[in-house]
Amino acid sequence: NGVGIDHFGFLEDGTFKQRYLVNNEHWDQKGGPILFYTGNEGDITWFCNNTGFMWDVAEELGAMLVFAEHRYYGESLPFGQDSYSDAKHLNYLTSEQALADFSVLIRELKRTVLGAQKSPVIAIGGSYGGMLSAWLRMKYPNVVVGALAASAPIWQFPDMVPCGDFYKIVTQDFARSGLNCDVNIRRSWKAIDNITATDDGLQWLSGEFSLCSPLKKTDLDGFKAWLQETWVNLAMVDYPYEANFLQPLPRWPIQVVCKHLGFDPSVVSDYQLLGGISEAARVYYNYTGNCPCLNTSSTATGNLGFIGWYYQACTEMVMPLCTDGIQDMFEPQDWNFQAFSDECHSLFGVRPRADWADTVYGGLDIASHSNIIFSNGGLDPWSSGGVTRNISDSVVAIVIPDGAHHLDLRYNNEYDPHTVLSARVLEVKYFKLWITQARKLQIPG
Protein backbone atom coordinates (compact mmCIF):
# COMPACT_ATOMS: atom_id res chain seq x y z
CA ASN A 1 0.00 0.00 0.00
CA GLY A 2 1.12 3.50 -0.83
CA VAL A 3 3.14 4.67 -3.78
CA GLY A 4 6.71 3.64 -4.54
CA ILE A 5 9.40 6.08 -3.48
CA ASP A 6 11.57 5.32 -6.50
CA HIS A 7 9.75 4.52 -9.73
CA PHE A 8 12.98 4.47 -11.72
CA GLY A 9 15.10 2.16 -9.63
CA PHE A 10 14.55 -1.04 -7.72
CA LEU A 11 17.00 -0.71 -4.84
CA GLU A 12 14.78 1.65 -2.85
CA ASP A 13 11.57 -0.32 -2.52
CA GLY A 14 9.91 1.74 0.20
CA THR A 15 6.51 3.32 -0.26
CA PHE A 16 4.85 6.43 1.11
CA LYS A 17 1.34 7.75 1.53
CA GLN A 18 0.43 10.28 -1.11
CA ARG A 19 -2.44 12.55 -0.17
CA TYR A 20 -5.24 13.18 -2.63
CA LEU A 21 -8.67 14.74 -2.32
CA VAL A 22 -11.70 13.39 -4.12
CA ASN A 23 -15.14 14.84 -4.79
CA ASN A 24 -17.72 12.80 -6.62
CA GLU A 25 -20.83 14.82 -5.82
CA HIS A 26 -21.55 15.40 -9.50
CA TRP A 27 -19.79 12.36 -10.90
CA ASP A 28 -21.65 10.24 -13.40
CA GLN A 29 -20.68 6.84 -12.07
CA LYS A 30 -21.22 5.27 -15.47
CA GLY A 31 -17.82 6.31 -16.80
CA GLY A 32 -18.07 10.04 -16.21
CA PRO A 33 -14.76 11.84 -16.65
CA ILE A 34 -12.21 12.53 -13.95
CA LEU A 35 -10.70 15.98 -13.68
CA PHE A 36 -7.32 15.36 -12.11
CA TYR A 37 -5.40 18.23 -10.58
CA THR A 38 -1.67 17.60 -10.82
CA GLY A 39 -0.52 19.16 -7.58
CA ASN A 40 2.38 21.53 -7.49
CA GLU A 41 4.91 22.69 -4.92
CA GLY A 42 2.61 23.09 -1.93
CA ASP A 43 -0.21 21.88 0.24
CA ILE A 44 -2.86 20.32 -1.99
CA THR A 45 -5.79 21.65 0.06
CA TRP A 46 -4.68 25.16 -0.80
CA PHE A 47 -4.57 24.38 -4.55
CA CYS A 48 -7.90 22.64 -4.18
CA ASN A 49 -9.42 25.80 -2.71
CA ASN A 50 -7.85 27.98 -5.37
CA THR A 51 -8.99 25.92 -8.36
CA GLY A 52 -12.68 26.81 -8.34
CA PHE A 53 -12.89 26.24 -12.09
CA MET A 54 -12.92 22.49 -11.52
CA TRP A 55 -15.73 22.83 -8.98
CA ASP A 56 -17.63 25.16 -11.33
CA VAL A 57 -17.59 22.72 -14.25
CA ALA A 58 -17.99 19.42 -12.39
CA GLU A 59 -21.78 19.30 -12.74
CA GLU A 60 -21.85 20.16 -16.45
CA LEU A 61 -19.30 17.40 -17.17
CA GLY A 62 -20.61 14.86 -14.65
CA ALA A 63 -17.03 14.79 -13.46
CA MET A 64 -15.23 13.38 -10.47
CA LEU A 65 -12.66 15.80 -9.06
CA VAL A 66 -9.33 14.55 -7.81
CA PHE A 67 -6.62 16.76 -6.37
CA ALA A 68 -3.34 14.89 -6.00
CA GLU A 69 -0.59 16.22 -3.80
CA HIS A 70 2.96 16.41 -5.19
CA ARG A 71 5.50 14.28 -3.31
CA TYR A 72 7.62 16.17 -0.76
CA TYR A 73 4.92 18.82 -0.23
CA GLY A 74 2.04 19.15 2.20
CA GLU A 75 1.58 15.82 3.92
CA SER A 76 3.02 13.66 1.13
CA LEU A 77 6.47 13.20 2.56
CA PRO A 78 8.31 10.08 1.39
CA PHE A 79 10.52 9.96 4.47
CA GLY A 80 8.32 11.86 6.92
CA GLN A 81 10.20 14.50 8.88
CA ASP A 82 13.49 13.33 7.35
CA SER A 83 12.39 14.03 3.79
CA TYR A 84 14.37 17.27 3.63
CA SER A 85 17.26 16.23 5.80
CA ASP A 86 19.91 15.78 3.09
CA ALA A 87 20.60 15.17 -0.60
CA LYS A 88 20.09 11.45 -0.09
CA HIS A 89 16.55 11.90 1.18
CA LEU A 90 15.78 14.63 -1.35
CA ASN A 91 16.93 12.43 -4.22
CA TYR A 92 13.40 11.36 -5.16
CA LEU A 93 12.04 14.91 -5.42
CA THR A 94 11.83 15.21 -9.20
CA SER A 95 9.11 16.00 -11.68
CA GLU A 96 9.56 12.58 -13.31
CA GLN A 97 8.83 10.81 -10.03
CA ALA A 98 5.82 13.09 -9.47
CA LEU A 99 4.44 12.30 -12.94
CA ALA A 100 4.89 8.60 -12.23
CA ASP A 101 3.05 9.07 -8.90
CA PHE A 102 0.14 10.66 -10.73
CA SER A 103 0.04 7.88 -13.33
CA VAL A 104 0.14 5.16 -10.73
CA LEU A 105 -2.60 6.90 -8.71
CA ILE A 106 -4.86 7.33 -11.73
CA ARG A 107 -4.49 3.69 -12.70
CA GLU A 108 -5.16 2.68 -9.12
CA LEU A 109 -8.33 4.80 -9.00
CA LYS A 110 -9.55 3.30 -12.26
CA ARG A 111 -8.87 -0.16 -10.96
CA THR A 112 -10.55 0.29 -7.60
CA VAL A 113 -13.33 2.87 -7.97
CA LEU A 114 -16.51 1.24 -9.19
CA GLY A 115 -17.51 2.80 -12.51
CA ALA A 116 -14.20 4.57 -13.10
CA GLN A 117 -12.53 1.89 -15.19
CA LYS A 118 -13.26 3.61 -18.47
CA SER A 119 -13.46 7.16 -17.19
CA PRO A 120 -11.45 9.50 -19.39
CA VAL A 121 -9.05 11.47 -17.22
CA ILE A 122 -8.16 15.09 -17.92
CA ALA A 123 -5.11 16.57 -16.24
CA ILE A 124 -5.47 20.11 -14.96
CA GLY A 125 -2.88 22.25 -13.28
CA GLY A 126 -1.62 25.78 -12.88
CA SER A 127 1.92 27.13 -12.89
CA TYR A 128 4.35 24.26 -12.11
CA GLY A 129 1.23 22.12 -11.71
CA GLY A 130 0.31 23.15 -15.24
CA MET A 131 3.71 22.12 -16.50
CA LEU A 132 3.11 18.76 -14.86
CA SER A 133 -0.30 18.49 -16.54
CA ALA A 134 1.20 19.11 -19.96
CA TRP A 135 4.08 16.74 -19.30
CA LEU A 136 1.74 14.08 -17.95
CA ARG A 137 -0.12 14.13 -21.26
CA MET A 138 3.17 14.12 -23.18
CA LYS A 139 4.74 11.26 -21.25
CA TYR A 140 1.69 9.23 -20.26
CA PRO A 141 -0.91 9.75 -23.01
CA ASN A 142 -2.25 6.33 -22.05
CA VAL A 143 -3.19 7.70 -18.63
CA VAL A 144 -4.73 11.10 -19.43
CA VAL A 145 -6.71 11.95 -22.56
CA GLY A 146 -5.74 15.60 -22.44
CA ALA A 147 -4.37 18.39 -20.30
CA LEU A 148 -5.15 21.95 -19.37
CA ALA A 149 -1.85 23.60 -18.54
CA ALA A 150 -2.71 26.98 -17.08
CA SER A 151 0.04 29.58 -16.85
CA ALA A 152 2.59 26.84 -17.29
CA PRO A 153 6.03 28.20 -18.23
CA ILE A 154 7.28 25.03 -19.95
CA TRP A 155 9.63 27.14 -22.06
CA GLN A 156 11.21 29.13 -19.21
CA PHE A 157 14.32 26.95 -19.52
CA PRO A 158 17.80 27.82 -20.82
CA ASP A 159 17.96 28.93 -24.47
CA MET A 160 14.23 28.73 -25.06
CA VAL A 161 13.03 32.26 -24.35
CA PRO A 162 14.89 35.49 -23.54
CA CYS A 163 15.63 35.58 -19.81
CA GLY A 164 14.50 39.21 -19.56
CA ASP A 165 10.92 38.76 -20.72
CA PHE A 166 9.64 37.81 -17.30
CA TYR A 167 10.57 41.10 -15.65
CA LYS A 168 9.53 43.05 -18.71
CA ILE A 169 6.01 41.79 -18.17
CA VAL A 170 6.11 42.67 -14.47
CA THR A 171 7.18 46.17 -15.48
CA GLN A 172 4.45 46.50 -18.07
CA ASP A 173 1.84 45.59 -15.47
CA PHE A 174 2.94 48.48 -13.28
CA ALA A 175 3.33 50.82 -16.24
CA ARG A 176 -0.23 50.27 -17.33
CA SER A 177 -1.71 50.48 -13.82
CA GLY A 178 -0.90 54.07 -12.98
CA LEU A 179 0.97 57.10 -14.23
CA ASN A 180 4.69 57.02 -13.39
CA CYS A 181 4.27 53.80 -11.43
CA ASP A 182 7.06 51.80 -13.12
CA VAL A 183 9.25 54.88 -13.42
CA ASN A 184 9.13 55.51 -9.69
CA ILE A 185 9.86 51.89 -8.85
CA ARG A 186 12.80 51.98 -11.23
CA ARG A 187 14.14 55.03 -9.37
CA SER A 188 13.57 53.51 -5.96
CA TRP A 189 16.69 51.28 -6.00
CA LYS A 190 19.03 54.24 -6.28
CA ALA A 191 17.02 56.09 -3.63
CA ILE A 192 17.52 53.14 -1.29
CA ASP A 193 21.28 53.28 -1.94
CA ASN A 194 21.34 57.04 -1.33
CA ILE A 195 19.41 56.95 1.89
CA THR A 196 21.01 53.88 3.40
CA ALA A 197 24.47 55.35 2.91
CA THR A 198 24.10 56.66 6.48
CA ASP A 199 23.06 54.88 9.66
CA ASP A 200 20.35 57.45 10.14
CA GLY A 201 19.03 56.61 6.71
CA LEU A 202 19.00 52.91 7.48
CA GLN A 203 17.06 53.62 10.64
CA TRP A 204 14.64 55.90 8.83
CA LEU A 205 13.98 53.28 6.17
CA SER A 206 13.39 50.54 8.75
CA GLY A 207 10.88 52.76 10.51
CA GLU A 208 9.19 53.93 7.33
CA PHE A 209 8.59 50.27 6.30
CA SER A 210 7.69 49.19 9.86
CA LEU A 211 10.17 46.35 9.44
CA CYS A 212 10.04 43.67 12.11
CA SER A 213 13.87 43.67 12.32
CA PRO A 214 15.74 46.93 11.61
CA LEU A 215 17.92 46.91 8.51
CA LYS A 216 21.66 46.53 8.71
CA LYS A 217 24.04 47.54 5.91
CA THR A 218 24.53 43.89 5.05
CA ASP A 219 20.78 43.37 4.63
CA LEU A 220 20.44 45.74 1.72
CA ASP A 221 20.63 43.19 -1.10
CA GLY A 222 18.13 41.07 0.73
CA PHE A 223 15.85 44.04 1.26
CA LYS A 224 15.91 44.92 -2.42
CA ALA A 225 15.33 41.28 -3.39
CA TRP A 226 12.35 41.22 -1.06
CA LEU A 227 10.89 44.35 -2.66
CA GLN A 228 11.54 42.98 -6.14
CA GLU A 229 9.76 39.76 -5.26
CA THR A 230 6.89 41.80 -3.86
CA TRP A 231 6.36 43.49 -7.23
CA VAL A 232 6.66 40.13 -9.00
CA ASN A 233 4.09 38.54 -6.74
CA LEU A 234 1.73 41.45 -7.26
CA ALA A 235 2.04 40.93 -11.01
CA MET A 236 1.18 37.26 -10.57
CA VAL A 237 -1.93 37.93 -8.52
CA ASP A 238 -3.22 41.06 -10.19
CA TYR A 239 -6.76 39.71 -10.17
CA PRO A 240 -9.86 41.77 -11.04
CA TYR A 241 -11.48 41.10 -7.67
CA GLU A 242 -10.56 40.80 -4.01
CA ALA A 243 -8.73 37.54 -3.52
CA ASN A 244 -6.40 35.72 -1.21
CA PHE A 245 -3.92 33.61 -3.12
CA LEU A 246 -0.40 34.58 -2.11
CA GLN A 247 -1.75 37.30 0.22
CA PRO A 248 -5.16 38.85 0.90
CA LEU A 249 -5.47 41.65 -1.64
CA PRO A 250 -7.91 44.22 -3.02
CA ARG A 251 -9.24 43.99 -6.56
CA TRP A 252 -6.70 45.01 -9.20
CA PRO A 253 -4.04 45.33 -6.50
CA ILE A 254 -1.42 46.90 -8.77
CA GLN A 255 -3.76 49.82 -9.44
CA VAL A 256 -4.04 50.27 -5.67
CA VAL A 257 -0.28 50.02 -5.31
CA CYS A 258 0.26 52.54 -8.07
CA LYS A 259 -1.97 55.13 -6.34
CA HIS A 260 0.94 55.47 -3.91
CA LEU A 261 3.48 55.87 -6.68
CA GLY A 262 2.04 58.53 -8.92
CA PHE A 263 4.49 61.36 -8.12
CA ASP A 264 6.15 63.32 -10.82
CA PRO A 265 9.53 61.59 -10.82
CA SER A 266 11.39 64.79 -11.63
CA VAL A 267 10.45 66.55 -8.40
CA VAL A 268 10.05 63.78 -5.82
CA SER A 269 12.70 63.42 -3.10
CA ASP A 270 14.24 60.09 -2.18
CA TYR A 271 12.37 60.20 1.11
CA GLN A 272 9.01 60.88 -0.54
CA LEU A 273 9.68 58.19 -3.11
CA LEU A 274 10.51 55.53 -0.52
CA GLY A 275 7.57 56.64 1.56
CA GLY A 276 5.39 55.84 -1.44
CA ILE A 277 7.14 52.53 -1.94
CA SER A 278 6.47 51.60 1.68
CA GLU A 279 2.77 52.44 1.29
CA ALA A 280 2.75 50.36 -1.87
CA ALA A 281 4.39 47.38 -0.16
CA ARG A 282 1.82 47.61 2.61
CA VAL A 283 -0.96 47.12 0.07
CA TYR A 284 0.53 43.70 -0.50
CA TYR A 285 1.54 42.81 3.04
CA ASN A 286 -1.10 44.50 5.13
CA TYR A 287 -4.35 44.78 3.20
CA THR A 288 -6.15 43.28 6.18
CA GLY A 289 -4.54 45.78 8.54
CA ASN A 290 -3.60 42.97 10.88
CA CYS A 291 0.08 42.99 10.23
CA PRO A 292 2.01 44.82 12.96
CA CYS A 293 5.32 44.86 11.10
CA LEU A 294 6.74 43.78 7.73
CA ASN A 295 8.94 40.70 7.62
CA THR A 296 11.49 40.78 4.81
CA SER A 297 12.18 37.08 5.06
CA SER A 298 8.94 36.03 3.46
CA THR A 299 6.79 37.30 0.65
CA ALA A 300 3.89 34.91 0.32
CA THR A 301 1.67 32.22 1.73
CA GLY A 302 3.14 29.47 3.86
CA ASN A 303 1.21 26.97 1.76
CA LEU A 304 4.02 26.87 -0.76
CA GLY A 305 7.01 24.67 -0.09
CA PHE A 306 9.89 27.04 -0.73
CA ILE A 307 12.74 24.75 0.20
CA GLY A 308 11.38 21.95 -1.94
CA TRP A 309 10.97 24.27 -4.87
CA TYR A 310 14.45 25.66 -4.36
CA TYR A 311 15.80 22.11 -4.52
CA GLN A 312 13.85 21.50 -7.71
CA ALA A 313 15.22 24.71 -9.22
CA CYS A 314 18.66 23.51 -8.16
CA THR A 315 18.26 20.24 -10.04
CA GLU A 316 15.85 20.15 -13.01
CA MET A 317 13.84 23.34 -12.94
CA VAL A 318 16.56 25.66 -14.11
CA MET A 319 14.72 28.83 -15.16
CA PRO A 320 16.98 31.69 -16.17
CA LEU A 321 15.67 35.15 -15.32
CA CYS A 322 17.52 38.41 -15.83
CA THR A 323 17.01 42.17 -15.73
CA ASP A 324 18.60 45.05 -17.61
CA GLY A 325 17.04 48.11 -15.92
CA ILE A 326 16.04 49.46 -19.32
CA GLN A 327 13.25 47.27 -20.56
CA ASP A 328 12.35 46.54 -16.96
CA MET A 329 12.18 48.58 -13.74
CA PHE A 330 14.76 46.54 -11.81
CA GLU A 331 18.49 46.77 -11.18
CA PRO A 332 20.45 45.07 -13.97
CA GLN A 333 21.34 41.48 -13.18
CA ASP A 334 22.60 38.87 -15.62
CA TRP A 335 21.69 35.22 -15.42
CA ASN A 336 24.75 33.54 -13.93
CA PHE A 337 24.44 29.79 -14.16
CA GLN A 338 27.78 29.07 -12.52
CA ALA A 339 27.02 31.19 -9.46
CA PHE A 340 23.60 29.55 -9.20
CA SER A 341 25.12 26.10 -9.51
CA ASP A 342 27.64 26.90 -6.77
CA GLU A 343 24.89 28.17 -4.51
CA CYS A 344 22.91 24.97 -5.11
CA HIS A 345 25.92 22.90 -4.32
CA SER A 346 26.55 24.65 -1.04
CA LEU A 347 22.87 24.52 -0.05
CA PHE A 348 21.91 21.00 -1.11
CA GLY A 349 25.04 19.24 -2.29
CA VAL A 350 23.68 18.94 -5.81
CA ARG A 351 24.20 20.79 -9.06
CA PRO A 352 21.54 21.74 -11.59
CA ARG A 353 21.52 20.13 -15.04
CA ALA A 354 20.79 23.02 -17.33
CA ASP A 355 19.95 20.92 -20.40
CA TRP A 356 17.91 18.17 -18.85
CA ALA A 357 14.44 19.75 -18.98
CA ASP A 358 14.94 20.45 -22.67
CA THR A 359 15.97 16.86 -23.34
CA VAL A 360 13.32 15.15 -21.29
CA TYR A 361 10.34 17.41 -21.96
CA GLY A 362 10.92 18.30 -25.58
CA GLY A 363 11.75 21.97 -25.35
CA LEU A 364 10.29 24.00 -28.19
CA ASP A 365 9.62 20.87 -30.19
CA ILE A 366 6.27 19.66 -28.86
CA ALA A 367 4.32 19.43 -32.11
CA SER A 368 4.01 15.67 -32.09
CA HIS A 369 1.88 15.70 -28.95
CA SER A 370 -1.85 16.15 -28.79
CA ASN A 371 -4.72 17.34 -26.62
CA ILE A 372 -3.01 20.01 -24.61
CA ILE A 373 -4.34 23.49 -23.88
CA PHE A 374 -1.82 26.08 -22.76
CA SER A 375 -3.67 29.01 -21.22
CA ASN A 376 -1.78 32.17 -20.42
CA GLY A 377 -2.53 35.43 -18.67
CA GLY A 378 -1.33 38.54 -20.49
CA LEU A 379 -0.59 40.16 -17.11
CA ASP A 380 1.23 37.12 -15.77
CA PRO A 381 5.03 37.34 -15.83
CA TRP A 382 5.16 33.56 -16.26
CA SER A 383 3.53 33.93 -19.66
CA SER A 384 7.08 34.79 -20.75
CA GLY A 385 7.85 31.07 -20.71
CA GLY A 386 4.42 29.90 -21.76
CA VAL A 387 3.17 28.49 -25.03
CA THR A 388 1.23 31.44 -26.42
CA ARG A 389 0.63 30.30 -29.99
CA ASN A 390 -1.10 27.26 -31.41
CA ILE A 391 1.34 24.47 -32.13
CA SER A 392 -1.14 22.25 -33.96
CA ASP A 393 -4.86 21.57 -34.11
CA SER A 394 -4.71 19.83 -30.79
CA VAL A 395 -1.85 21.53 -28.99
CA VAL A 396 -3.39 24.94 -28.61
CA ALA A 397 -2.78 28.20 -26.82
CA ILE A 398 -5.24 30.55 -25.18
CA VAL A 399 -4.21 34.04 -24.15
CA ILE A 400 -6.31 35.95 -21.64
CA PRO A 401 -5.05 39.51 -22.09
CA ASP A 402 -6.33 40.83 -18.75
CA GLY A 403 -5.61 37.67 -16.80
CA ALA A 404 -2.91 37.24 -14.17
CA HIS A 405 -1.46 33.88 -13.01
CA HIS A 406 -3.94 31.11 -13.95
CA LEU A 407 -6.99 33.32 -13.46
CA ASP A 408 -8.93 30.83 -15.57
CA LEU A 409 -8.52 28.15 -12.89
CA ARG A 410 -10.27 30.30 -10.27
CA TYR A 411 -13.97 30.31 -9.40
CA ASN A 412 -16.24 32.32 -11.62
CA ASN A 413 -16.60 35.84 -10.30
CA GLU A 414 -18.87 38.71 -11.18
CA TYR A 415 -15.79 40.85 -11.90
CA ASP A 416 -14.24 38.37 -14.29
CA PRO A 417 -13.32 40.00 -17.59
CA HIS A 418 -15.12 38.50 -20.57
CA THR A 419 -11.81 37.18 -21.91
CA VAL A 420 -11.46 34.73 -19.04
CA LEU A 421 -15.08 33.68 -19.39
CA SER A 422 -14.57 32.80 -23.04
CA ALA A 423 -11.32 31.03 -22.19
CA ARG A 424 -13.17 28.80 -19.74
CA VAL A 425 -15.91 28.10 -22.28
CA LEU A 426 -13.29 27.09 -24.83
CA GLU A 427 -11.48 24.92 -22.30
CA VAL A 428 -14.68 23.02 -21.49
CA LYS A 429 -15.34 22.64 -25.20
CA TYR A 430 -11.95 20.94 -25.62
CA PHE A 431 -12.60 18.76 -22.58
CA LYS A 432 -15.81 17.51 -24.18
CA LEU A 433 -14.04 16.87 -27.45
CA TRP A 434 -11.32 14.82 -25.75
CA ILE A 435 -13.92 12.85 -23.79
CA THR A 436 -15.82 12.05 -26.98
CA GLN A 437 -12.60 11.04 -28.76
CA ALA A 438 -11.58 8.83 -25.86
CA ARG A 439 -14.89 7.01 -25.81
CA LYS A 440 -14.59 6.34 -29.53
CA LEU A 441 -11.04 5.06 -29.28
CA GLN A 442 -11.60 2.91 -26.25
CA ILE A 443 -9.95 -0.48 -26.49
CA PRO A 444 -12.60 -3.20 -26.21
CA GLY A 445 -12.51 -5.47 -23.18
Binding site for a second copy (CB under 8 A): 4, 7-11, 13, 87-88, 90-92, 94, 96-97, 100, 103-104, 107, 139-143, 315, 350-351, 353, 355-356, 359-360, 362-371, 441, 443
d(CA 126, CA 404): 12
Strand-pair category, 248-249 with 15-16: unpaired
405 has catalytic annotation:
yes
Which one of 405, 406, 408, 416 is the catalytic residue? 405
Closest CA relative to residue 274, chosen from 215, 227, 231:
227
Please, which residue, 113 or 291, has the CB nearer to a second copy? Answer: 113
CB neighbour list of residue 224: distance below 8 Å, 6 or more residues apart: 189, 192, 331
Please, which residue, 41 or 408, has the CB nearer to a second copy? Answer: 41
Please, which residue, 140 or 309, has the CB nearer to a second copy? Answer: 140
CB of 366 to a second copy, least distance (A): 7
Closest CA relative to residue 186, chosen from 324, 296, 295, 334:
324
Number of H helices, E strands in the chain: 15, 11
127 has catalytic annotation:
yes
Is residue 31 classed as helix, strand or coil in its secondary structure? Answer: coil
CB of 381 to a second copy, least distance (A): 24
For residues 127 and 406, the answer to whether their CB atoms sit within 8 Å is yes
Which one of 76, 127, 370, 375 is the catalytic residue? 127
CB of 32 to a second copy, least distance (A): 19
What single string gives the DSSP state of each residue in 116-166?
-TT--EEEEEETHHHHHHHHHHHH-TTT-SEEEEET--TT-STTTS-TTHH
CB of 141 to a second copy, least distance (A): 4
Please, which residue, 103 or 171, has the CB nearer to a second copy? Answer: 103
Please, which residue, 205 or 314, has the CB nearer to a second copy? Answer: 314
Please, which residue, 176 or 351, has the CB nearer to a second copy? Answer: 351
Q: Which helix (H) or strand (E) holds 34?
A: strand 34-38
Question: Please, what's the b/e burial string for 131-153 (b: 16 or more CB within 10 A of its CB; e: otherwise)?
Answer: bbbbbbbbbbeebbbbbbbbbbb
CB of 129 to a second copy, least distance (A): 20
CB of 88 to a second copy, least distance (A): 6
Is residue 287 classed as helix, strand or coil in its secondary structure? Answer: coil
Which one of 101, 238, 380, 408 is the catalytic residue? 380
380 has catalytic annotation:
yes
For residues 104 and 68, the answer to whether their CB atoms sit within 8 Å is no
Residue type, 163: C
Catalytic positions are: 127, 380, 405
